[in-house]
Amino acid sequence: MSMLAGATLLASTFLTAAPAQSADVPPEFSTTDWHDPLTAVPPVPKPSGTSCQVTLAEAQFRDFTPYTGAYTPPDGCGDRWSKVVLRMDGTVKGRQFDRLGYVRLGGVEIFRTSTPQPSPDGIEWSVEKDVTRYSDTFRSAQDVEMLIENVVDGTYTGIIDVKVTLTFYAAEKTSTPATAPDQILTLAADSTLTAPRNSERIVAEVYATGSGGGCEEYWYLTVPDSAPYSCQADGGPYREVQVTVDGQLAGIAAPFPTVWTGGWSNPFLWYVVPGPRAFDIKPIEYDLTPFAGLLNDGRPHRVEVSVVGVPEGQTGWSTPVNVLVWQDAKSAHVSGKLTAHRTAELTNSSTYTPGSQHRVDTEGGHRLTVAGYVDTSHGRVTTTVSRSLANTSVHRWTEGETVDGLDARWTDDESVTVDGRGPARTTRTERTYTMDGTTTIGAGDRLRTVLSLGDRASVVAFQGGRRLAWSRLDDTYAGDATYTTNVPRDQRHAVGTTSERYRLQGTGGCYDRALTTVQGVLTEDRRSC
């Protein structure tokens, strides 16, 4: 399936065999086992022809010790590939929290993930990701580092056992290798970047995650200090991931509100179907090409990432950075200049209203436009990047937080215009993230969570006023689960229904898959298109 922005929208999948529909649903969740995790995300398309596989890591994670190893490029598939696919297979059983993990080669982060929570009898899961963009890193021997931070003790017994492989698909003589970046760079220890002097396109990617067990893991629920709630932040829940170059704002983005598999105080929502992106954490991308003329001077430049809204001195965000560079092979030095830099004042207002049901209303947003040119061997190319962010939310809760609800929406709209030889090309991306849910603790300590999540994106490319390609993603999750708190596992008497529908359509075709589970049993696996 060929789709616009395929590297972003079709880059990864959470794998499982598609079982037959089942109507054998127990009256409540089993206390020992349930269906292995799965999502409705489409599989990574794989080319035919010669392929080679390399094992990156085989490890058991039971503490905070990273796995370290060595990577050697594959034999028999050349050094220019039509596709490279990462696959992680995992098993875990017993009792364990959700854990965050990463894989790095030569310091380049190529994969970030979180884990499902296991059953006592054990679960298996697999994740795939298209990592072709990191081909330059794969062409030479590299150190491998992988870590899934874990705790194993008398209570939390789950040892996370994983294997990670790379499969390389050789570019056939009649095919064109994938247009991957020429170099993948990481920042120095002092957060500086020294770019090649002939860079003609520069993109930074940031694997931004709020996690670690503190309030920033649930940043979207934080409230101003004046409100009586368990998670407070001076400016409320508005978060924005910013990139600066030598102190000048170069990129803005809304972080995706990832819900991990213990989220919203209710693991029964996530035992089988996780929330969007929970097992494949996508990086935020920033087109820094307008700054290429500055970055190409051969000197180190400070590139820094910060998260707006995090209380001063508080940790909880991880923001590793890769820099993807495309070079002009016919020029030793590509000169250029930043020609425009316009930013609107960041708005962020959280209003607390006390009452029998406390309420915080939040509105925030920001706009940034940057433009610059580079003089390449094929002429002057001007790049203009405009990005606009908005966040609205209503958070309601009662005394003691026995009722706690959020209705939130984030938008992140971006336009990139490249004007050089021939008609200008503009790519417009509109991203929308939604979260609408309530957790209630009622009689008998019965905790119920009703929650819906949305991950939507629309991408359209125009050239010379004509639409070239388009794609539209709609990944929607819904769950309703209830269990008894503060009792042993076998006394929880949990019930729950979860569903996911993943729809992707566009220039190259369509994909539509829907899943439903009841009490941990898969009752529907429907595919359309």
* Residue 173: predicted pLDDT: 65
Q: Mean pLDDT across the chain, nearest whole number?
A: 94
Average pLDDT on 62-82 reads 96
302 Cβ contact list (under 8 Å, min separation 6): 190, 191, 192, 193, 244, 245, 246, 247
Query: Is the per-residue pLDDT at 421 higher than 90?
Result: no
Amino acid at 276: P
* Residue bearing the bigger pLDDT, 15 or 26: 26
Tokens at 155, concatenated? 């209570």
Average pLDDT on 333-355 reads 97
* Residue 316: predicted pLDDT: 87
* 215-222 long-range contacts, CB within 8 A, separation 24+: 215/314, 215/316, 216/310, 216/314, 216/315, 216/316, 216/317, 217/260, 217/316, 218/263, 219/255, 219/257, 219/309, 219/310, 219/316, 220/257, 220/393, 220/406, 220/408, 220/435, 221/395, 221/404, 221/406
Q: What is the pLDDT of residues 429-457, one digit of tens each?
A: 999 999 999 999 999 999 999 999 999 99
| Dihedral sign computed on CA atoms, order 365, 366, 367, 373 | negative
- With vertex at residue 458, the alpha carbon angle to CA 100 and CA 512, rounded to the nearest 5 degrees, is 75
Give the C-alpha separation, 472 to 463, whole Å. Answer: 19
* Residue 23: predicted pLDDT: 57
Model-level pTM? Answer: 0.94
Q: Which of 436, 27, 479, 99 is nearest to 270 (CA)?
A: 479
Query: Is the per-residue pLDDT at 11 higher than 50?
Result: no
CB atoms within 10 A of CB 68: 12
Give the C-alpha separation, 312 to 48, whole Å. Answer: 52
* Residue 122: predicted pLDDT: 97
Query: Is the per-residue pLDDT at 14 higher than 80?
Result: no
Average pLDDT on 471-476 reads 98
Give the C-alpha separation, 251 to 269, whole Å. Answer: 35
189 Cβ contact list (under 8 Å, min separation 6): none
* Residue 8: predicted pLDDT: 38
Q: State which of 169-173, 176-180, 210-214 shows the largest mean pLDDT.
A: 169-173
* Residue bearing the bigger pLDDT, 476 or 421: 476
Query: Is the per-residue pLDDT at 3 higher than 50?
Result: no
Average pLDDT on 109-119 reads 97
Task: Provide the CB-side half-sphere exposure for 357 (13 A, CA).
Answer: 11
* Residue 178: predicted pLDDT: 63
CB atoms within 10 A of CB 413: 17
Query: Is the per-residue pLDDT at 63 higher than 70?
Result: yes
Give the C-alpha separation, 249 to 268, whole Å. Answer: 42
Report the SS3 class of residue 343.
strand
| DSSP class of 117 | P
CB atoms within 10 A of CB 501: 17
Task: Provide the CB-side half-sphere exposure for 251 (13 A, CA).
Answer: 26
* Residue 7: predicted pLDDT: 35
- Which run of H or E residues covers position 137? helix 135-138
Average pLDDT on 182-189 reads 97
Q: What is the pLDDT of residues 20-53, one digit of tens each?
A: 444 589 999 999 999 999 999 999 999 998 999 9
% of the chain residues with pLDDT over 70: 94
By CB neighbour count within 10 A (0-12 exposed, 13-18 middle, 19+ buried), where does 20 fall? exposed
Give the C-alpha separation, 291 to 372, whole Å. Answer: 7
Please tell me the least confidently modeled range out of 16-30, 62-76, 456-470: 16-30
Please tell me the least confidently modeled range out of 63-77, 206-220, 335-349: 206-220
pLDDT band (50, 70, 90) for residue 17: very low
* Residue 33: predicted pLDDT: 96
Q: Evaluate whether 132 touches 110 at the Cβ level (below 8 Å).
A: no
Q: Evaluate whether 34 touches 24 at the Cβ level (below 8 Å).
A: no
C-alpha pair distances (Å), 513 with each of 16, 18, 39, 41, 221: 13, 11, 9, 8, 30
Q: Evaluate whether 249 touches 343 at the Cβ level (below 8 Å).
A: yes
pLDDT band (50, 70, 90) for residue 19: very low
Task: Provide the CB-side half-sphere exposure for 25 (13 A, CA).
Answer: 18
Give the C-alpha separation, 187 to 43, whole Å. Answer: 32
Average pLDDT on 10-20 reads 47
Q: Which of 409, 202, 232, 381 is nearest to 309 (CA)?
A: 232
* Residue 15: predicted pLDDT: 53
* Residue 314: predicted pLDDT: 82
| Dihedral sign computed on CA atoms, order 330, 336, 342, 346 | positive
Query: Is the per-residue pLDDT at 394 higher than 70?
Result: yes
* Residue 416: predicted pLDDT: 98
Give the C-alpha separation, 440 to 396, whole Å. Answer: 12
Query: Is the per-residue pLDDT at 204 higher than 60?
Result: yes
Q: What is the DSSP string of 446-484?
A: EEEEEEEEEEEEEEEEEETTEEEEEEEEEEEEEEEEEEE
| DSSP class of 95 | S
88 Cβ contact list (under 8 Å, min separation 6): 103, 111, 113, 126, 127, 128, 162, 163, 164
Ordered structural domains, the chain, with CATH: 6-47+175-528 (no CATH), 48-174 (2.60.120.230)
Query: Is the per-residue pLDDT at 392 higher than 50?
Result: yes
Strands (E), 399-465: 403-419, 425-441, 446-463
* Residue 320: predicted pLDDT: 97
* Residue 9: predicted pLDDT: 39
